[in-house]
Structures are given as C-alpha cells and as structure tokens.
Amino acid sequence: MSLPRKLMIDGEQTVTDTRTHIKVLLVPFLILLVVAGAGGFLINTVGGSGSGIPRWIVVAGMVILILWGSVLPFLKWLTWTYTLTNKRIVEQKGLLTRTGRVIPLSRVNDVAFEKNLNDRILGCGTLIIHDASEQAGLQLRDIPHIEAFHRTVSNLVFQTHDNSSSDESI
C-alpha cells in the first residue's frame, strides 16, 4: 500500500499511508448480500425446469451484479491510497489507469478537516489541504483517525516551513 521506492525522492521517507474508511464498502457489501440471497432464491425457484437455461441466466445476472456492485467498488477502494511522506502528500487511484496528485509540504498553506455526525461516530473525516497553486484544494475523503492524521500533516508542514525559513536566513 505504501508509495513504491522508485517513486520516492532522495531522502524521502514514508510517515504514514492510508486509504478511505471501510464505511465506503457498506453499500457494496449489502449489494452482495441482496444479490446472493435473491439469486439463490431465484435459482431454487426455476429449479431443474426445462433445459436449465433459466438457471444459467440467473447465475449470469448474479455474476454481473456482484462484479459491478461489489467487486469493482472494493477494487477501487483497495487501489485508492493516500501517502504522507516527510516531503509531500501523494494521492494515487485507479485500476487500469493510475492517476495521482502530489502536493509538496513546502507549498501547503492550510490544513483543515471536516467531520459530519456519521464521521464522528465512525472516527473518520475529510482532510482539506490548500497549497500555493491555482488548483482547488486536495480533499482526502473518509480518512480514518482524522484528528491524528491532521495533527501529523500539520506538524510536518510546520517542520518543513521552519526548515525552509532557517535555510533562507543563512
């Protein structure tokens, strides 16, 4: 899950890495249960009638619904990662085509977090990072243990800014 070594800069170390909270898999899990239950009922209902083609149609429909409603969201969740290093924040996502966004800690202006009621109950939230670019801030949604992650990012940003200001004064 961590950032591969070949993508790291000299002297860079991974501080923490995470992916979105497991709550995003609740609906795909419910889809899996409903499709499996309804599919099993339908397979039993059509039984051994005729040539068995109705049973295969139900099985094919189940496979398509499970792949689309459960497996694909799980793979998206599995491949969407956030990595915090001592020099930058890296967001990577994608199954076949990998995309990512990198924000150097030296360019971060503001770090904030938001938590709604559900997030507070589940212990997650959205981290919003604004940098010195024209792009909109990076929103890391459904981050587990958001307060600790926010604190870690803020501390690294302060350290980076302190180091850069002391380097400029030399």
Q: How far is CA 103 from CA 10, 40, 82, 95, in A?
A: 16, 48, 11, 22
pLDDT of residue 46: 83
Which residues of the chain carry a pLDDT beneath 70?
1, 48-51, 165-170
Please name which of 151, 144, 150 lies closest in space to residue 121, comparing C-alpha atoms: 144
pLDDT of residue 84: 93
pLDDT of residue 66: 96
pLDDT of residue 1: 61
Q: How far is the C-alpha of 120 from the C-alpha of 110, rounded, in Å?
A: 22
pLDDT of residue 54: 85
User: Collapsing DSSP states into helix, strand and coil, what is residue 52?
Assistant: coil
Q: What is the pTM of this model?
A: 0.81
